[in-house]
Amino acid sequence: MQIMAPFVLQDFDVGWVATDALGQVALFTTGGPGPVPDSAIPSVENSEEFVLSLPKVSDVDRATARAGANAFVEFAKRGFFAYDWSDVHRDSRQALRGYELQYRPQNPLKLFDLPAPLRALAEVTRLSHVIFGASIIVIGDQVS
């Protein structure tokens, strides 16, 4: 029997999905070192592709002064708040140590708006003490 090494997310820029206290949805990209809640690990494999397969439903607002990647715009156009672990672009003195909002949808989707496979991935990671749209989200004790 072959024993497989555990899947390591460190150093891979991956996306994961979650819901907030209002049932809104967000896609978080790690930039490599960003933390991923254990409950969100199943969404890492293909959450970005699922989100990008959805129809565009919203205009967007840029939330950060730093110009973001086009993917963030595309996530928000599909109704998802788009967050990034942007500390990879900062030195340690300027680090935020949290996910920074890049783009917000003007018409955010809710969990019940999602197709079943994506809804199943998003509903297992509920950040119950958070309402998406804030500029910084620290992952840790607020995951329920």
Query: For residues 45 and 36, is the Cβ–Cβ distance under 8 A?
Result: no
Give the model's pLDDT for residue 3.
30
Dump strand ranges (E) for the chain: 15-20, 25-29, 60-62, 81-84, 99-105, 126-127, 136-137
- Span 100-136, pLDDT tens digits: 899 999 999 999 999 999 999 999 999 988 999 976 7
Give the model's pLDDT for residue 13.
72
- Span 59-109, pLDDT tens digits: 999 887 666 568 899 999 999 999 988 755 555 665 556 788 999 999 999
Closest to 23 measured CA to CA, from 80, 106, 98, 75: 80
> Does pLDDT of 141 surpass 70?
no
Determine the average pLDDT of the residues in 54-58: 97
Domain boundaries, the chain: 15-137
Give the model's pLDDT for residue 45.
83
Give the model's pLDDT for residue 11.
60
Give the model's pLDDT for residue 7.
42
